Amino acid sequence: MKALKLDHIGIAVKNLDETLKFYQEMLGLECVGTEVVEEQKVKVAFLPVGDTEVELLESTEEDGPIAKFIEKKGEGIQHMAFRVENIEEAIEEMKAKGVRMIDEKPRYGAGGAKIAFCHPKSTNGVLIELSERQD
């Protein structure tokens, strides 16, 4: 498997609107859209930076993965996503190389992506997302 590019960096936030203000007013980034992903209990905002994006993630439920992350580690970088050409092949290759996968099959991600997460215990403590999407 070859990562095509750093697709995005996911940042867990308590309040999406407040955080967006900082990225827009202080860093001059433009939000190109928000989306609620019910399956993942998250509201997402996308801010392109060059050839990648900052993805801000606010939990929509108290028991959502982002809420649990913030409770345990505080706000901050939650994951790094790498673009792959074929998500199914990438998952199988990672498993064949001994990487523990959270997702054995792709699932729907924000922005219409097909995604799968590698377990941080197999990736030196970093939650890695594999992402396949059309530009």
Average pLDDT on 43-62 reads 97
At residue 135, the pLDDT reads 65
Give pLDDT tens digits for 17-34. 999 999 999 999 999 999
The partner residues of 118 in beta bridges, in order of sequence, read 101, 128
Angstrom distance (rounded) from CA 48 to CA 116: 21
Average pLDDT on 92-113 reads 95
| Band of pLDDT at residue 111, cut at 50, 70 and 90 | confident
At residue 117, the pLDDT reads 97
Alpha helices in 1-135 (DSSP H): 16-21, 65-73, 87-96
- Domain 5-132 grouped into CATH 2.100.10.30: no
Contacts of 119 (CB under 8 A, 6+ apart): 99, 100, 101, 102
| Band of pLDDT at residue 38, cut at 50, 70 and 90 | very high
Beta pairing class for 5-13 and 52-59? parallel
Answering whether pTM is above 0.95, one says no
pLDDT of residue 3 exceeding 70, the answer is: yes
3-state secondary structure of 61: coil
Q: Would you kindly state where each structural domain of the chain is located, as residue ranges? A: 5-132
Angstrom distance (rounded) from CA 60 to CA 79: 18
